[in-house]
Structure 1
Amino acid sequence: MNTINGLPLHPLLVHLVVVLVPLSALMAIAAVCWPAARARLGIFTPLVTLVALIALPLTTSAGESLEEQVGPSPAIERHAGFGEQVIYWVGPLFALAVLWWALHDERFMTTLHAKIPASEKLSQRAVAVALGIATVVVALGSVYIVFMTGDTGAKAVWS
């Protein structure tokens, strides 16, 4: 099914990705930089990022179907090139969001220390700093790649 009510599915699904990826990135950055936000967001950051991650292959598949219908063009190829990279940013963003949540979840860390006594010796602060930097970089990269994908897609439609 490539259409809903006669409309191509890709432009409809794109809105889900265009909203959820930047929202996930913003939530991840807030969780890293602001402890109060981290406490309030909790598991919601990884969950929102997971929904974005699930939406990506659906959107990509619908886009490939749409490309077959309209035919190739340099603008569509450029858009597709950026679109294929989005998953390589959002996948790691999801993994980092889960790790960041787990690192700051008391129940998870208590269980980890009970099962792996050596884990207490690891510098949780050093891990948190490295993980935080990686999360912010990947979050910003994911917003950039979604912006470029959307921009080239809009130009492909309206040019």
Structure 2
Amino acid sequence: MFFGLPLHPLVVHAAVVCVPLAALGTILMAFWPAAARRLWPAVLFVATIALIAVPVSISSGETLMDKVGENALIEAHEEQGEQVLPFAIVLWLAALGISLATRLTGHTPRSHHESTAPRPRWHAAMLIVFAVLALVGGGGGTVVIVRAGHSGAQTVWTR
């Protein structure tokens, strides 16, 4: 309880906002290097908030379920909510990987006086892997969290 309100509906909104926002930012960074150079701190922060909010939402939902009881709608909502965590982990790993690649592997803006040496092959392969992770974690996470949110709303409003 938080000021007399159940914690679950408060915390779940952080996940509902942060997962799709982190997905959008991570996918944008994966395919637009200029965006990665500018957005990586904000995107990594939002992805981290999402990664924290999802398990807290699951835990607070289980506590709430113990108080209100169980039914078929709540069980469906619980199952869908638990499916978000693996996608949030993959999304966070993609955001972290792209952020590190941006900061540590020379994927930074170059001055006009610096030589533009070609990047090693592994760098391109690494960015492709992180782009795939961003698409899987971001796309899948967004779909699953929307489905879980919809079933949660049905649970509340059909009682």
TM value normalised by structure 1: 0.85
Q: Indicate the residue corresponding to 1:31 in structure 2.
A: 29
Cα RMSD (Å) of the superposition? 1.6
1:122 deviates by 4.8
Which structure has the highest helix share of the two? 1
TM value normalised by structure 2: 0.85
2:75 equivalent among 77, 80, 83: 77
1:89 counterpart letter in structure 2: F
Provide structure 1 residue ranges, at least 5 long, that are not aligned to the other structure.
111-119
CA distance in 2, matches of 1:124, 1:37: 18
Q: Indicate the residue corresponding to 1:17 in structure 2.
A: 15
1:67 equivalent among 65, 68, 72: 65
CA distance in 2, matches of 1:62, 1:52: 15
Greater mean alpha carbon deviation, residues 24-33 or residues 34-43: 34-43
The SS at the match of 2:37 is helix
Deviations 1:86-112 (A, max 9, x none): 11110111111111111122xx226xx
CA distance in 2, matches of 1:4, 1:121: 52
Q: How many residues align?
A: 146
Deviations 1:13-71 (A, max 9, x none): 11111111111111101111222221210222122111111112221111101101111
1:130 deviates by 2.8
Identity of aligned residues (%): 36
Provide structure 2 residue ranges, at least 5 long, that are not aligned to the other structure.
107-118
